[in-house]
Every structure is written in structure tokens, then in C-alpha cells.
A and B are shown apart, each in its own frame.
Chain A
Amino acid sequence: MSDQPLLDRPVTRRAVLVGGSLAGFSAFLAACGTQGTASSPTPGQTATAPPAGTPAATSAPPTTPPVRATYSTELNWANWCCYLDVDPADKTKWKTLEDFKKKYGTTVNYKEVIDANEGFVATIANQIVAGQDPGWDIITVTDWMVARLIRLGWLEKFETANMPNFVANVRDVYKAQTWDAAMAYHAPWQTGMTGIGADTTKTGEITSVKSLFEDDPRWHGKVEFLTEMRDAIGLSMLALGLDPRTPTRDGADKAVALMKRAQAAKTVRDVKGNAYTEDLAAGVAVLVMAWSGDIVGLQAEAPNLKFIFPTEGVMFWTDNVCIPKGAVHKGTAELLIDYCYVPENAAQIEAGVAYVTPVKGVQEIFAASADNKALATDPLRFPPAGLEPKLVPFGILSDEDETYFNEQFATVIGD
């Protein structure tokens, strides 16, 4: 695949790793510079890209788009759990949203209603097909789902002229996705990794993703898999020495067989979505497929837990904010997305969300701050340069393959 040119790009000492690709999901990675080192312009940048050589360290000044009369006083945003910063002063509120509301006089109806891409999109599909208001102005979905929604024509096109911060501050590696080369339908929200979460005091040292499928008395009955098909099949393929960048039906069969074998041996306790964190924190699961940001959150209550980068690699993905077709408050949605691309605002979000930010300049803001200095070197927020070849995005699936993969995987989930 065509990820070589990207991988060859110079990577500096404090390189920040971000996700993205040239050929859809099949490539990823780049580095952006530090302290005045300009990030290399990505080959094939689009017209909306910021001027080449914009220093990442000195982020673009937070420009405020003019408040237009078309902005609504209402905005509806559907997101996943734990994907926004809680207001330290009032735990019932989201700080960034409060700031936004105050600044623009809108109300934001923000709901953590998404638990799985398919399940969530099912709740808006009927409305979109019927040409009605889908109920949300912003939805947050993983990149493969964005690609599908674009293909179906279910997303509104951004008015990028009204989103100067987004255009200026999105990191270069996110650009030039084949399914949205102009970045007119999606704005990256967070990038994350799917690897192993383990209580290493119970499991001992874990290095290989193969451990998830081995029946070992130390974790017998205490293993959990994820319900996201690409994460579970992806990690299983890595364990089998297959490459999830180029998924095949044969690979899916083998991956599913591997998981089913572990289930039949009663190694596996459960297959879950976000809820695996509960079992991990309670200690009833000790070795799980895990999302990187979750483990950071869990460490506060269970310091034994570690996020492990298996030697075979981790699955690498990006969740994006999009505007669904028929959204009533499109202009305000663009305003909010743009607001989150102001580096200072992105840093505030990032301090509360332990994933990889798509916004330039956040690491520098952390490095310069008094309270959040440690975050600038957090490997889960800013994965170190050496890991790049191990960050594996799941390849693009055709509709037929998607159905096939899902059908096979359904036997693992049980539904």
C-alpha cells in the first residue's frame, strides 16, 4: 500500500503522531514538528490546506468567525461517552460547551447516545431517507462510517469558508482521505488506538496480542473482546500474523474462528462495547481489547491497569464530527466544530479526553502550561515516534465484504 512515503518523512524527537492516510485507511501517520520545526507539507495537499510550513508550535491565532444572523440558538450533538471535558466547577456540565454557549448565546443539546456506529446510524437512517430532520446537527462516527455516509449522500457539505480555524489547524496527516479529499464532509474529532488493557499484577508481563486468545490460568475466564467489528477482527488478524490493512474474507474467517475458539475454551468472559471498562476496573476482567483513552481514565481508580502496545501493533482509527443530511442548524454546527479547532479550546478538550487530538498546537500548549505539562509527553495522547509502523488502520471494505464480515462477527457477539 502507499504508506511508505509518509513513513519515510522525517520525524523529530518530540514528534507527534497523528492518524490519517493517503489511500483511505490503508496508510497513516506522519509527524509534525516542534519548536519551530515546520511540519512537512503532505504531498497532495488540497486547496483548503493551510500555507505550507505553518509552524505547529505557534498555532494559528484563534480567529473568531463573525457571528452571522443565521446562527441558531439551538444545537444538537450526538457523541460517544467520555469524549468531552467535564466542567471541574460543575460536574453536570461540559466546560467547552459552556464556554461556547456563553460566547455565542446558543443552547447545546449534547447527548452521549452513541455506543456503536451501526446502532447509532440506524437511529437516524429512517429520518434521513424520509428527508426529515435527523434530530442531530452534529454526529460523531468513525472514519469508515463517514466514508459510507458520504457514499450514501447522508452528510451535509461543510461551508469551509466559515470554518477558518478548522481549515488552518487540522493536522496535515488527516488530509487527503480518498473518500473526502477536500475535507468537506468530516472534521476529525479524536484518534485512538485499540490494543490490550491489562492488570499486569495479575497477568504478568503481556507483550503479544496472542495472549488474548491463549488459555492461561492467570486470565482464564477473565478476557473480554470488543463489539466493534473492526477492532476485534483487526486485533485477531494481528495475532494471526495477517494484515488488517488488507482485510480479506479468508482473514475474517480465520479471525472469527480464533475468537470463537477462545470463547469455546471459556477463556473469554464477555464481548462488550464501552462497558468492558467496568469489568476491568472491578477486576473481574484482567486482559481485554481496550481503547487507549479509556485506560487513561481508568488508571485514576485502578492504577494497576496498563494500556499495552502489543508487539504486533495496535488498531488505529479516527472518530469524526459530521453534519447529517437535513440537519436544521448547519451553520451553528459549523461554528461549533470550528470553535473546537481553536488550539486553546482543543487543548481544554484534550486535557479531559485522553485520545490523540487532530488539532495543531495542542502539545505545545500543554508543554508551556503549568498544570498540564505532563500531558505533553503522554504516549497515549501523543504517541512516540517509534510506534508509527505499529499503528494499523483497518482497510476499506466493500459493501458486500462489510456485510460478510458483520455476519461472521455476529456469531462472536451473540446477537
Chain B
Amino acid sequence: MTAEAAPMNRPRVGLLTSIKRLADRYLLMTYTSLAVIYLLLPVAVIILFSFNDPIGRRNFVWQRFSLDAWLNPLGVPGLGESVWLSLVIAFVSTLFATMIGTLMALALVRYEFRGKSLTNSLIFLPMATPEIVMGASLLTLFVSIGNPPFFPLNIVTILIAHILFNISYVVVTVRARLVGFPRHLEEAAMDLGANEWVTFWRVTFPLILPGIVAAALLAFSLSIDDFVITNFSAGQTQTFPMFIYAQARVGVPVQVYVIGSIIFLVAVISVGLTTLAGRRQSSG
């Protein structure tokens, strides 16, 4: 279904060939535009329906334009608390996962040690495990411990789960940055008399910082959006996705679409800014 450029020397130009030439020129780009529209369509719907003014609770049919929900984005009982909780969890789990994961990535790239391949598997496996299995196994663990702080389920158990699924992603992201790392800069610093500690903070860290920031952004967005694993480890604690899930049974209020839109815009802007900053740094 995919095309390579048509060969130059063709004896005859048939109908099929002219279709193919047209295709080559326009079809793939048209297709890609359509695919991107398809990918972004639900996001557009979320943003559009955040301006809806539905009758009653059910935000499924377009009624009329309204700014009400945007002017009062937390105007539903329980929404504000759940958003705040999600932000706290995303922040804390990102902080811990980024630290833990960066250390692991450093160890994996910089050192040879026994058990390296086992460690690699242990980092890889959580990413290949269906969320429901990871959530269910954490639930089984917490319930079988049966004592605080692991039980009853609470913010601590959510944090444990979020840090867990974020670690692997952080390791992989930071590792990718470390692999192409200019080691000679560190060696130069050491030759000039800096010890390992100083070298790390003055040379290594600034250079891998973009990777760490990218990892942190990824972890933050995974955490703030996680539903399945949280559903198993939250008990009665309600994060933003848990709130959406609960509301989905009775009609998701417009304000939820507003928060969804805000999260999207903030994420897009912060990723855009980091990319720009990264570019400036690497070109400067």
C-alpha cells in the first residue's frame, strides 16, 4: 500500500502508472493529514465540548456555546479535590521515579556489573505487563499485607504504584540520552582535577538534564492520566481519572472537559518549550 518513487525509465505510461504518480505526489501526504486529523479528532471534541452548555449533566449532544464551565472550571463537587490530588501524586511520583530511574540509567550505561541483563529484564518487564495485571498484583500484595500504610489503600499505595510504572520509562528515556554521551568531557574535567562528584554535577548532569526533563515530563503525563493501575490501588481515594470514571456512569460534567483541555494545553506548551530549550542548548 505504500509507494516508492516511480522508476525513471518506463516504456509506456499506462493508467495505473499515472495513478501511481499522482499517488506519489499527493496521496501519502493527504493520507497523513487525514490520519493526524483522526488522531486529534477526540482531542478537538474534548475542547469543543468544554464550551458546551448542556441541559442537565449529560455532555453528549452539542447545545450552544458557553464560557460558563471555563469561568468556573472546578464548579462540580469533588472535582477540585480530585484534580489537586492527581497533581500532587503526579508531582511526587515524578520526583521519586525520576531520581530512582536516572540513577539506574547511569548504572546501566556507565558500568559493567554482574546481573546487568537481569536488571534490564526487570526494567523492561513492567512495560510489557498489561496494566490490569500490574494493578491487580499490587492490590493482592497490599491486601495480603493488610496493615497501614499499605492498607487500607490510600495515597501512599497510589504513589507506590505510580513510581513503579514510571521507573521503567524514566530509565529508558535517560538511558537513550546517556548512550551518545561525550565521555571525553568528563575525562577532561577529571584531568583538570575535579573529583567524580564535582564532575558529575558540573559536567555530566547539565548534559543529561534535557533527557531527565524529558523523562520527568513523560512520567508526569503518565501519572496524571493513569486510570487502570490507580483503580486497583486507590481504594476510596479519588484521583482525576477516577473521578471521570465515576462520573461517566451518570454523565460527565462539562468542567471535566475543561480540565482535560487545560491539561492538554499545558502539556503541549511545556513539551514545546522543552523542545525549544533543548534545541537552543544544542545549537548554542
A residues near B (Cβ < 8 Å) are: 78, 81-82, 86, 91-94, 110-113, 115, 123-124, 126-127, 130, 132-136, 272-275, 277-278, 281-282, 297-298, 300-301
Q: Are A281 and B56 in touch, CB under 8 angstroms?
A: yes
Q: Are A133 and B61 in touch, CB under 8 angstroms?
A: no
Q: Shortest 6 CB-CB distances between A and B: which pairs? A: A301-B55, A301-B56, A81-B250, A275-B249, A274-B249, A127-B152
**Is B110 engaged at the interface, CB distance under 8 Å to the other chain?**
no
Q: Are A123 and B235 in touch, CB under 8 angstroms?
A: yes
Q: Closest CB of chain B to A251's CB: distance in Å?
A: 29
Max chain B Cβ within 10 angstroms of own Cβ: one of A110, A134, A277: A277
Q: Are B143 and A297 in touch, CB under 8 angstroms?
A: no
Alpha-carbon gap, A135 to B60, bound state (A): 34
- Chain A residues whose CB sits within 8 angstroms of the CB of B58 once the complex forms: 277-278, 281-282, 301
Q: Are B56 and A135 in touch, CB under 8 angstroms?
A: no
- Chain B residues whose CB sits within 8 angstroms of the CB of A111 once the complex forms: 78, 236, 238
Alpha-carbon gap, A82 to B77, bound state (A): 11
Alpha-carbon gap, A315 to B138, bound state (A): 40
Alpha-carbon gap, A91 to B69, bound state (A): 12
Alpha-carbon gap, A388 to B250, bound state (A): 30
Q: Closest CB of chain B to A83's CB: distance in Å?
A: 11
Alpha-carbon gap, A115 to B75, bound state (A): 22
Q: Which of A126, A272, A277 makes the CB contact (< 8 A) with B143?
A: A126
Max chain A Cβ within 10 angstroms of own Cβ: one of B56, B146, B248: B56
**Contact A112/B78 with A123-B236, A136-B236 known, Cβ cut-off 8 Å:** yes
- Chain A residues whose CB sits within 8 angstroms of the CB of B147 once the complex forms: 130
Main secondary structure of the interface of B (DSSP, over half): loop
B residues near A (Cβ < 8 Å) are: 54-56, 58, 60-61, 74-80, 143, 146-148, 151-152, 235-236, 238, 246, 248-251
A-B contact count (CB 8 A): 76
6 A-B pairs within 8 Å (CB atoms) are namely A111-B236, A112-B250, A123-B236, A275-B249, A282-B61, A298-B56
Q: Are A93 and B56 in touch, CB under 8 angstroms?
A: no
Alpha-carbon gap, A126 to B150, bound state (A): 12
Q: Are A274 and B250 in touch, CB under 8 angstroms?
A: yes
Max chain A Cβ within 10 angstroms of own Cβ: one of B60, B151, B152: B152
**Contact A126/B146 with A113-B246, A115-B246 known, Cβ cut-off 8 Å:** yes
Alpha-carbon gap, A112 to B242, bound state (A): 12
Of chain A, the residue at the smallest CB distance from B54 is A301
Q: Closest CB of chain B to A295's CB: distance in Å?
A: 12
- Chain B residues whose CB sits within 8 angstroms of the CB of A82 once the complex forms: 250
**Contact A91/B151 with A78-B236, A297-B56, A300-B56 known, Cβ cut-off 8 Å:** no
- Chain A residues whose CB sits within 8 angstroms of the CB of B60 once the complex forms: 278, 282
Alpha-carbon gap, A124 to B153, bound state (A): 10
Sample of 9 more A-B contacts, CB < 8 Å, known A113-B236, A127-B152:
A81-B249, A110-B77, A130-B147, A132-B152, A135-B152, A272-B249, A278-B250, A278-B251, A301-B54
Of chain B, the residue at the smallest CB distance from A282 is B60
Q: Are A130 and B55 in touch, CB under 8 angstroms?
A: no
Q: Closest CB of chain A to B60's CB: distance in Å?
A: 5
Of chain A, the residue at the smallest CB distance from B255 is A92
**Contact A300/B55 with A91-B76, A282-B60 known, Cβ cut-off 8 Å:** yes
Of chain B, the residue at the smallest CB distance from A131 is B146
Alpha-carbon gap, A144 to B173, bound state (A): 53
Q: Closest CB of chain A to B224's CB: distance in Å?
A: 20
Q: Closest CB of chain A to B155's CB: distance in Å?
A: 12
Q: Are A130 and B146 in touch, CB under 8 angstroms?
A: yes
- Chain A residues whose CB sits within 8 angstroms of the CB of B238 once the complex forms: 111, 113
- Chain A residues whose CB sits within 8 angstroms of the CB of B78 once the complex forms: 111-112
Alpha-carbon gap, A296 to B56, bound state (A): 12
Q: Closest CB of chain A to B267's CB: distance in Å?
A: 26
Alpha-carbon gap, A272 to B152, bound state (A): 29
- Chain B residues whose CB sits within 8 angstroms of the CB of A274 once the complex forms: 249-250
Q: Are B249 and A126 in touch, CB under 8 angstroms?
A: no
Max chain A Cβ within 10 angstroms of own Cβ: one of B75, B147, B251: B251
**Contact A126/B152 with A278-B251, A281-B58 known, Cβ cut-off 8 Å:** yes
Q: Closest CB of chain A to B32's CB: distance in Å?
A: 34
Q: Closest CB of chain A to B142's CB: distance in Å?
A: 9
**Contact A135/B236 with A92-B76, A301-B58 known, Cβ cut-off 8 Å:** yes
**Contact A92/B249 with A78-B236, A135-B152, A135-B235 known, Cβ cut-off 8 Å:** no
Of chain A, the residue at the smallest CB distance from B236 is A135
Of chain B, the residue at the smallest CB distance from A110 is B77
**Contact A94/B249 with A123-B236, A300-B55, A301-B55 known, Cβ cut-off 8 Å:** no
